A and B are shown apart, each in its own frame.
Chain A
Amino acid sequence: MGNERLDNVAPTLYNTKPRERPKTKEEMDENVEDPIDAWEIFDLIRDINDPEHPYTLEQLNVVQEELIQVHNEPKETYVEVQFTPTIPHCSMATLIGLSIRVKLMRSLHSKVKFRVSITPGSHNTEEAINRQLADKERVAAALENESLINAIDQCLSVRE
């Protein structure tokens, strides 16, 4: 019965990446400062739970390391995260975007600025959702809504 209400009844599952961070030469060198990179951001958001299915955003290919860009600039570190809803009419897209935002807000230094948006072409109302996710006032107001923050915390909780 519950299944009939799901937007996407049978989502495709994807292989997950190794947990171990790929080691680069620079990283082994203690004299080199490690700036934030896409892998690190990916590692923060890969285990976020999908609001509908008992899988992580990584397992559903909603988030991918390849869809994360980090710009380490002199005046700011700017992170762009794109996510891909499993189906183009997914009603949970805003909630997923907010969960990613909240996870990054809670994990990153306030100097690191980021933008979360839908992978172009992957959602019917991507422009409207992207605008909402980029509006700090709307996001702030949404995060004062108790039922919404509970739903986000569910997505961010660590599954047994």
Chain B
Amino acid sequence: MKVEELSRLRPGSGRRIWCVAWHFSGDVLASSGEDKTIRIWKRTPNPPYFECRSTVDDSHTRAIRCVAFSHSGNLLASASFDGATVVYALEDSDYTESNKLEGHESEVKWVAFSPSDEFLATCGRDKSVWFWQVNHEDDDFEVVSVISRHTQDVKFVGWSPVEDLAVSCSYDGSLNFYQFDGDEWKTTQTIKEAHTGTIWSAAFDSSGKSLVSVGEDRHVKLWTRQSENPTSSEQWIRMASYAVDDTRWPLYTVGWNNLNGLIAVGGGDACIRIFDVAKVDGCETLRLLQKLDDVHSDEVNAVAWNPTQANLLASASDDGTIRLTTIDI
């Protein structure tokens, strides 16, 4: 495996960066963090290949935990510890605040658009997952469902890339799956004790049939979908589990490359580990391919594979930098 640093981006504040997210074109990256600022980085022909073209620093009053682009690229959303989710619309090549979604009682931890961009999911400290529907006539967002199935803090909510199916990860150690019944969002499956302790993140593969999750217990777990019948209570079952045993710190983030199938996992030990799924004796297993221990000097909070350039990984860290790394098999 050939690993090279393409670029290191250092937002001025030097403070913890919580999140990085790609625009579908692969040419624009958004970052957010403790400095309450969203930065939009655009690809340029010369080193460092990405340049901060605009910043938004007046939409939130506390740390911005998460940023996400819509799949059309026309919208950007941010989730903050201040309890609000803010949506920005693309106008004259800049993202400007268009909606403020309020309702969560306290910190919002994650936000993500559904593959069709019709729905937005948010989750937070108040143990709930909210599904918002975009009304394209007046570009407003309406609450469709508020689901409080978790017994603790909900850390993450993510979507299948191919259908309106969402998953949430919680401090309570469980995974919840959700589907839309045409009227409201329903919990289709709860996997209790999916991990021991907090589940920090999860990611689907390109087919939407497999999922990986990572957590405080330093395990990477692979889940596959056995049935597409939403009334089946065992749609998802665990296929494989990999214990990362050379660290004592949680695994915080996972990204599944939808172009080449590689899985990147970032954690509290400042390392990024690259996995793939291999068939051994007919069974799917997680295989550690490489451990990158010199990309960041502090905890890795987010990893994101570029959606068009298969070998490009962006990562965000407590060391105050965003790294762009090329990883070729």
Give chain A's interface residues, CB within 8 Å of chain B.
75-76, 78, 110-111, 113, 131, 134-138, 140-141, 144
Identify which of B248, B268, B293, B318 contacts A110 (C-beta below 8 A).
B318
Given A113-B268, A144-B81; 8 other pairs, CB 8 A cutoff: A75-B293, A110-B297, A110-B318, A135-B198, A138-B153, A141-B63, A141-B106, A141-B107
Closest to B62 in A: A144
B153: chain A residues at CB < 8 Å are: 138
CB distance from A109 to the nearest CB of B (A): 11
Q: Is B34 an interface residue (CB 8 A)?
A: yes
Identify which of B65, B249, B297 contacts A137 (C-beta below 8 A).
B65
Bound complex: CA of A44 vs CA of B318, how far in Å? 23
CB distance from B291 to the nearest CB of A (A): 11
Q: Is the CB of B63 within 8 A of A135?
A: no
28 A-B contacts (beta carbon < 8 Å)? A75-B269, A75-B293, A76-B269, A110-B297, A110-B298, A110-B318, A110-B319, A111-B297, A113-B249, A113-B268, A131-B171, A131-B198, A134-B216, A135-B171, A135-B198, A136-B299, A137-B65, A137-B155, A138-B125, A138-B153, A140-B34, A140-B63, A140-B81, A141-B62, A141-B107, A141-B125, A144-B62, A144-B63
Q: Is B323 an interface residue (CB 8 A)?
A: no
Q: Is B109 an interface residue (CB 8 A)?
A: yes
Bound complex: CA of A111 vs CA of B318, how far in Å? 11
B197: chain A residues at CB < 8 Å are: 131
Q: Is B16 an interface residue (CB 8 A)?
A: yes
Bound complex: CA of A110 vs CA of B106, how far in Å? 28
A144: chain B residues at CB < 8 Å are: 62-63, 81
Give the number of residue pairs across the A-B interface with Cβ within 8 Å. 37
Bound complex: CA of A135 vs CA of B216, how far in Å? 9
Q: How many residues in B have their beta carbons less than 8 Å from beta carbons of A?
A: 26
Q: Is the CB of B81 within 8 A of A141?
A: yes
CB proximity to A under 8 Å, residues B173-223: 197-198, 216
Q: Is the CB of B298 within 8 A of A78?
A: no
B298: chain A residues at CB < 8 Å are: 110
Closest to A140 in B: B63
Bound complex: CA of A159 vs CA of B243, how far in Å? 47
A138: chain B residues at CB < 8 Å are: 125, 153
B63: chain A residues at CB < 8 Å are: 140-141, 144
B268: chain A residues at CB < 8 Å are: 113, 136
B106: chain A residues at CB < 8 Å are: 141
CB proximity to A under 8 Å, residues B32-85: 34, 62-63, 65, 81
Closest 7 CB pairs of A and B: A141-B81, A144-B62, A141-B107, A110-B298, A144-B81, A144-B63, A140-B63
Bound complex: CA of A50 vs CA of B162, how far in Å? 54
A137: chain B residues at CB < 8 Å are: 65, 109, 155
Q: Which of A76, A136, A137, A138 has the most CB of B within 10 A?
A: A137
B293: chain A residues at CB < 8 Å are: 75
Bound complex: CA of A78 vs CA of B65, how far in Å? 27
Closest to A80 in B: B248
CB distance from B199 to the nearest CB of A (A): 12
Closest to B246 in A: A75
A131: chain B residues at CB < 8 Å are: 171, 197-198
Q: Which of A75, A136, A138 has the most CB of B within 10 A?
A: A136
Q: Is the CB of B249 within 8 A of A140?
A: no
Identify which of B216, B248, B319 contacts A78 (C-beta below 8 A).
B248
Bound complex: CA of A75 vs CA of B248, how far in Å? 12
A78: chain B residues at CB < 8 Å are: 248
A113: chain B residues at CB < 8 Å are: 249, 268
Quick one: CB contact mask for B247-258 with A, threshold 8 Å, 1 for yes? 011000000000
Closest to B271 in A: A75
Closest to B152 in A: A131
A75: chain B residues at CB < 8 Å are: 269, 293
Bound complex: CA of A75 vs CA of B319, how far in Å? 16
Closest to B81 in A: A141
Bound complex: CA of A21 vs CA of B240, how far in Å? 51
Closest to B197 in A: A131
Bound complex: CA of A51 vs CA of B51, how far in Å? 47
Closest to B318 in A: A110
Bound complex: CA of A141 vs CA of B124, how far in Å? 12
A136: chain B residues at CB < 8 Å are: 268, 299
B109: chain A residues at CB < 8 Å are: 137
Identify which of A135, A140, A141 contacts B16 (C-beta below 8 A).
A140
Bound complex: CA of A131 vs CA of B151, how far in Å? 15
